[in-house]
C-alpha cells in the first residue's frame, strides 16, 4: 500500500487533543538535503536473504505492518522536546540483493551524515550489514569508535563464500571493520556452531548468551549496564543497535523468521532499552525479521513498534 494511503486509513480523523504518530510523521519520497537533525524511518520490504538462509519467508511484509501499529501510537507522555519525524518509505527492490545492500548503506550513511537519528525496519537481518557498515563509516569520519549491540538468538557470522544471506551480516561487518566494540546479546546455545562462536571471540567481540542471562542473579538491565556496557564512554563511542526479533521468546514475538520458546522477555527488554536510549543516545536502531505471516494478536508488531517508540521519544535529537 502507498504510505500516504496507509497513513490516512489507520485511525479516525486527527484530534488535536488525542494526537497519534500518523499525525506527526511526514511521509516523503526520499531523503533530501533539508532533512537534518531529525528522526528518519525507512523499511526493507525484502526477505530474499531469509529465504537463502532457509528461514521462514514473510518478513518482507514486516515494515508496513510495524507502521500500522506505530502510527496508531500516541507521543510519549514523558516527551517534552519537539522532534521532526520523516518516513522515507521502503527501499526499492529492483536491483540484486548485493546492490540493494549497497543502496541501503548509502541511504543510512547519508541520513547519519545529515545529523539524523535513523530507524530501519526489515526485512531480513542481512540488512544488518549495510546499516552497521554505514554506522561504522560515519563514526570513522567523525572520529568516534563504533559500539554495536546485536540482540539475537543467532550470531549471524556464517561465511559468505556462497553469497550473502540473513546469516552473514556480522561476518561481513567484522571482516571489514576491526576498530569497533561489538556485543552479541541473547545468543542461544542450540542454534550456533562452536566454530562461529570461536570466530566472533577471535575478533574481540563479546557474547552474552541467553543461559548467562537466565542464570544471572542480576536483572537484565543491571547485568547489561554493570557488566557488559561498563566500558561504554560517550566521549569516545557512538552507539547503534541491531534487534533481530527472534531474540525474543515466541510467547512475546511469535512472528519472526525463526522462533524459539526461549528468549528475551518484553518487559525485561523494555526497561533496559528505555534506559539505554536515555543514557547512551544511540544514533541508529535496526529491527529485523519481524514476520507478520506468523504473528498472533499483533504481539510481534507491537513489540517492534514499542521499541521504535522508545527510540523516538527517549532520545534528545
Assigned C-alpha cell, 302: 507491537
pLDDT tens, residue by residue, 15-28: 778 899 999 999 99
What pLDDT does 80 receive?
Answer: 62
Residue 33, classed as helix, strand or coil, is coil
Q: What is the mean pLDDT of the chain?
A: 95
Rounded Cα gap, residues 144 and 142, in angstroms:
6
What pLDDT does 179 receive?
Answer: 93
What pLDDT does 17 receive?
Answer: 82
pTM: 0.95
Structural domain boundaries in the chain: 3-9+18-313
What pLDDT does 15 receive?
Answer: 72
Strand partners, 101: none
DSSP E strands in the chain: the ranges are 25-27, 39-44, 85-90, 117-122, 145-151, 181-187, 206-209, 237-244, 284-288
Residue 239, classed as helix, strand or coil, is strand
Which fold would CATH assign to domain 3-9+18-313? 3.40.800
Look at residue 13 and tell me whether its pLDDT is greater than 60: no
Q: How confident is the model at residue 4 (pLDDT cuts 50, 70, 90)?
A: low
Q: What's the mean pLDDT in 238-246?
A: 98
Look at residue 256 and tell me whether its pLDDT is greater than 70: yes
Read off φ and ψ for residue 226, nearest 5 degrees.
-90, -25
Query: Where is average pLDDT lowest: 3-7, 9-13, 69-73, 106-110?
Result: 9-13
Amino acid at each position: 500500500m502507498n504510505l500516504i494511503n496507509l497513513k490516512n486509513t489507520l485511525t479516525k480523523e486527527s484530534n488535536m487533543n488525542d494526537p497519534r504518530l500518523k499525525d506527526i510523521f511526514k511521509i516523503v519520497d526520499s531523503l533530501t538535503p533539508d532533512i537534518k537533525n531529525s528522526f528518519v524511518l525507512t523499511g526493507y520490504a525484502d526477505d530474499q536473504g531469509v529465504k537463502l538462509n532457509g528461514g521462514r519467508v514473510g518478513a518482507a511484509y514486516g515494515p508496513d505492518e510495524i507502521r500500522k501499529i506505530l502510527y496508531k501510537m500516541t507521543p510519549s507522555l514523558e516527551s517534552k522536546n519537539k522532534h521532526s519525524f520523516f518516513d522515507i518509505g521502503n527501499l526499492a527492490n529492483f536491483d540484486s540483493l548485493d546492490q540493494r545492500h549497497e543502496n541501503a548503506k548509502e541511504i543510512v550513511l547519508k541520513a547519519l551524515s545529515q545529523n539524523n537519528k535513523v530507524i530501519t525496519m526489515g526485512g531480513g537481518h542481512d540488512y544488518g550489514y549495510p546499516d552497521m557498515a554505514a554506522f561504522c563509516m560515519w563514526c570513522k569520519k567523525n572520529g568516534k569508535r563504533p559500539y554495536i549491540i546485536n540482540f539475537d538468538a543467532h550470531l549471524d557470522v556464517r561465511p559468505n563464500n556462497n553469497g550473502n544471506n540473513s546469516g552473514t551480516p556480522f561476518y561481513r561487518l567484522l571482516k571489514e571493520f576491526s576498530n569497533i566494540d561489538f556485543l552479541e546479546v541473547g545468543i542461544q546455545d542450540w542454534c550456533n556452531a562452536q566454530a562461529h562462536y570461536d570466530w566472533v571471540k577471535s575478533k574481540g567481540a563479546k557474547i552474552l548468551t541467553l543461559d548467562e542471562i537466565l542464570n544471572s542473579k542480576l536483572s537484565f538491565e543491571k547485568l547489561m549496564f554493570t557488566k557488559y556496557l561498563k566500558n561504554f564512554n560517550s566521549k569516545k563511542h557512538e552507539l547503534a543497535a541491531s534487534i533481530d526479533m527472534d531474540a525474543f521468546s515466541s510467547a512475546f514475538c511469535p512472528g519472526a523468521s525463526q522462533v524459539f520458546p526461549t528468549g528475551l522477555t518484553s518487559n525485561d527488554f523494555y526497561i533496559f532499552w528505555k534506559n539505554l536510549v536515555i543514557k547512551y543516545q544511540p544514533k541508529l536502531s535496526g529491527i529485523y525479521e519481524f514476520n507478520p505471516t506468523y504473528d498472533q494478536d499483533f504481539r510481534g508488531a507491537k513489540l517492534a513498534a514499542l521499541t521504535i517508540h522508545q527510540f523516538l521519544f527517549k532520545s534528545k535529537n
